[in-house]
Each structure stands twice: as structure tokens, then as C-alpha cells.
Homo-oligomer: A and B are copies of this chain.
Amino acid sequence: MSSYDFMTKDELQKQLNVLKKRYQNFKLKNLKLDMSRGTLSKEQLDLSMPMLNILSNDSNFTSDSGIDYRNYGFSDGIWTLRYMFAQILNVKPFDVFVGGNSSLSMMFDVISLYMTHGACGKRPWSSYERGIKFLCPVPGYDRHFKILSHFGIEQIPIPMKKDGPDMNIIEEAVKSDELIKGIFCVPKYSNPQGIVYSDETVKRFSNLSPKSSDFRIFWDNAYAVHDLTGSCKFLLSLMNECLQNSTEDLPIMFCSTSKITFPGSGVAALAASQKNLLEIKRFYSFKTIGFDKLNQLRHAKFLKDYENILEHMKKHRKILRPKFQVVINCLSKEFSEQNKDIASWSEPKGGYFVSVDLYPGLAKQVIKMCKKAGVKLTDAGATFPNGIDPNDSNIRLAPTCLPANELALAMHLFCICIKLTAIEKKIKTLEDSCEHISN
């Protein structure tokens, strides 16, 4: 129910005309604003500028074991970074493997490896005639889904609850179907809703008894230190829980500095049990002579240690928090409690997105209208497998990149488009039912 339900067709039409005028005025502004991806704002990028010339002739380029970081050579990663990532992922440094600039690429690589060679001696995932399946908490991260689509992996949507994905469904599914080989999770500040998995959820993940012994949890901890408030939400260590349950081969964990230093020029890492790690490192020893150790060194010198990262992230928070407030304030102002079924939204305590759920059937049209007026949003359906939101309802907002004044403008337009689309739908429904009556 919304306030529109109590309006006559004339009242709705009147409101629609006002909104249309306001929409037209927006169009005249010739905006060109992008809220589609979780990119960093210029201010955030500037925070890491000292890292760019932190290496010089005076730097020590030699590791304790005598490796010149400037030369060839495969390694598990510079120790400073292994310690740092171990704290970020809440695992032991020995379980961390530092890679290149992209954690997504590492997820792709691991799935690719399992497709062609299987996991830990099991048959290759590509060898199942009927194909394999992944569980996908929805709404979720489009790039996870795209990796799965690339490999022709069936994606089973799992509804998200307030404390993580629906564990009842997951437990039942993995227990009975050996074709289910994995699940993608963003356990802290999930993309797009910003949900932090509860202790119980993490414990239940560590307690899974999949029918398939090569089932893997792809634990993409992309926002591990990306808090928007001072009271950071704590995520239980999945690896520690697994070790207690002897299920340590279940998780493959990922993180990166993409949203700590520079996206695209950061450092990514992976953590896993020694058994999984051995296999993954062997794979990489075929694939490359080594990752960029100078960029690792740059990050080690700039970020120093975990405590310093937390200090650095406070600076990000200072920039980001007001932006999220603009988004939440605008939505709260425009959509009162009684209009929550037209638009409801997440109020994340961290991460990079706000998730908005509209009245079913509105999302595509709202995104189209915003685009026409110069505001680019994440594609409709992007938060669902194969780009199809069955309710055409969810929209992911990425408030990080735009300056606050432009963000306010974009949000204003966004709200107008929602109302306009909702009223148009309401009028259409009224007309359809009148027609029905007159027939």
C-alpha cells in the first residue's frame, strides 16, 4: 500500500504532470553523472598519492631471503603483505597467497582451474554432462554471476536475509545435490545491501556437509575494512570456525587493496587451507613467472601494517560517510513510511552500495528514465544471475564517486523517476480495472 492508493485518477494525473515538469527541467540541465559502479572519488584516490613515489634509489629491494624484488621470481608474496592480508581475512599469514592487481581475476582463475582440472583430485567441473551449479545469494555482485555465466555454470538464486543468505535453503541444497559445487559470498557489507553475515551464519557455513567433497565457498571479503561508521561490524573468522569443524578445505577467501589504495593498481590476495593453497600455487607456477613484487613493496611501505590500514580507512570513511547520508536522507525525505512498498532501501554501515527495492516492475523503467536525463545507474537486473531480476525491482546505487552536490542532484532525479513511474503504473492499473468493469 502507498499514498497513491488513496488518490483518484485525477489527483494522480495532476501529481504526474507536476513530476513530468520537474523531470523535463532536469533534462534541460544536460547532466552527465555516473552512479553505476563502485569507483573511488578523486578525493579518495588522492589519499594514496604518497605511495606512487615511495620507492626510490634509497629503498631496500632485497628480501630477507635475498630476492631482489625488481627481478623475476615466484613467491607467496612479500611478508609484510601476507601478515596484513591475514589480519584482514582473519586467517594465518601462512595461509595467504598474494597475487596481482585483481581479486576478481583470482576468483576467475580458481574457478577456471577447477573447471579444467577439478579441485583436489576430484573430476574437472567441466566434465559433468549435465553441468554444475553455484548458489548465488541475491541480490548480489554482477561480476560474480558473469564469471559463472562465462563457464556455463547454472546459478541458483538464494534469498538474502538480514544476517546473510538463507542458510536453511543452502544447507538442504548442498546436502542433496552433488552438482552444486560452490557459492559466492560477500560476507561483510554485502554487495549491494551492505549486510554483515551474523556469527550464526558464519558458523553454519563452517558446518556445511555438502554431498560433493569439492564444494567450495568463494568468500569475497572485498569490504573487510570498509566501515562507514566508527562502530565497525565484526565478522567471525570463517577459517577459524572451519578449522574447529575440520572443514578447512571449504573456503577460498579473497580480498584486495583496490578500495584501499588504487583500484586497478592495488594488490589482491587469496587465503585457503594448505591443501587448497598448494594446488592453487602450483597452477599459478604454470601461469606466470611471478606477480608484481614492486607494487607489493610499494603497498607494504605505504600501508605498513593492519593498524595503519584502519587509520587510512578512517580517511576514506570521512569522505564516504556524507555521501551515503545524502542518499539515505534523500530517500527518507521523499518516501515516507507509508510509501515503503514503492521504495525501500538498505542503510549500510559499510561497503560501497545502497540497495533500493522498488514496487515490482518499476526498476528498468526508472533506470531508463534516469539515463535519458543524464544519470547513469547500474543496469537493471545486474544484481541477479543472468541479469534478470524476476521482480524488476532491485536497483544498486553507488554513491562513492560523485561529489555530494552532484550526488544530491542525481538522487533528486532518481526519486522523481521512481514516483513518476509508480504513478504511471498506478494510473494504468486504474484504467485497466475500469476497462474491465465497463466490459
Contact = CB atoms under 8 A, between A and B. Distances in A.
Given A71-B263, A292-B264, A116 B105 contact: no
Nearest to A105: B288
Nearest to A266: B292
A56 B52 CA distance: 6
Contacts of A286: 108, 143, 146-147, 150
Given A37-B72, A71-B39, A265 B292 contact: yes
Given A53-B55, A68-B45, A101-B100, A288 B37 contact: no
Identical chains in the assembly: 2
Contacts of A258: 72, 289
B287 A264 contact: no
Interface in A249-303: 258, 262-265, 283, 286-295
B116 A112 contact: yes
Contacts of A108: 286-288
A434 B351 CA distance: 82
Interface string A68-112: 101111000000000000000000000000001110110011001
A258 B288 CA distance: 12
A142 to B, nearest CB: 11
Contacts of A143: 286, 289
A228 interface: no
Interface residues of A, number: 50
Nearest to A53: B53
A156 interface: no
A115 interface: yes
A264 B39 contact: no
A169 interface: no
Contact of A45 (B71, B101, B112): B71
A324 to B, nearest CB: 19
A232 interface: no
B70 A265 contact: yes
A59 B287 CA distance: 34
B72 A264 contact: yes
A151 interface: yes
